[in-house]
């Protein structure tokens, strides 16, 4: 299993277990001796400046800053008004 996919699933599990809403950022460390991953922080309000990790991660998935903000707003409206 690819490390990135394993971390994605672990992040999603942490998001659900902690009852996060709309968006959050999870930080991991990887034990290089056995490949085990550990989530050591979930941030419910990750930084949103152009230098912050959350927008940089979104960009790596092809989502530019404006589109990221738009998506957060739309998902927040859905969560709030459903």
What is the chain's Cα-based Rg?
A: 14
Q: Please report, for residues 55, 60, 69, 71, the alpha-carbon distance to residue 11 in angstroms, rounded to integers and kept in the order given.
A: 16, 16, 20, 19
- pLDDT at 82 (0 to 100): 76
pLDDT mean across residues, the chain:
91
Domain count across the chain: 2
Let me know: does 42 contact 26? Beta carbons within 8 Å: yes
Are 29 and 53 part of one and the same domain? no
Are 82 and 51 part of one and the same domain? yes
pLDDT of residue 17 exceeding 90? yes
Average pLDDT over residues 69-74: 95
Let me know: does 41 contact 26? Beta carbons within 8 Å: yes
Average pLDDT over residues 45-69: 92
Let me know: does 72 contact 23? Beta carbons within 8 Å: yes
- pLDDT at 16 (0 to 100): 94
- pLDDT at 69 (0 to 100): 94
pLDDT of residue 35 exceeding 90? no
Domain that holds residue 71: 47-82
């Amino acid at each position: 299993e690819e490390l990135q996919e394993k971390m994605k699933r672990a992040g999603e599990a942490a998001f659900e277990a902690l009852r996060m809403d709309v968006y959050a950022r999870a930080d991991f460390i990887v034990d290089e001796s056995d490949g085990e991953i550990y989530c050591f922080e979930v941030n419910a309000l990750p930084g949103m400046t152009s230098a912050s990790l959350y927008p940089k991660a979104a960009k790596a998935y092809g989502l530019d800053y404006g589109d990221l903000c738009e998506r957060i707003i739309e998902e927040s409206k859905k969560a709030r008004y459903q």
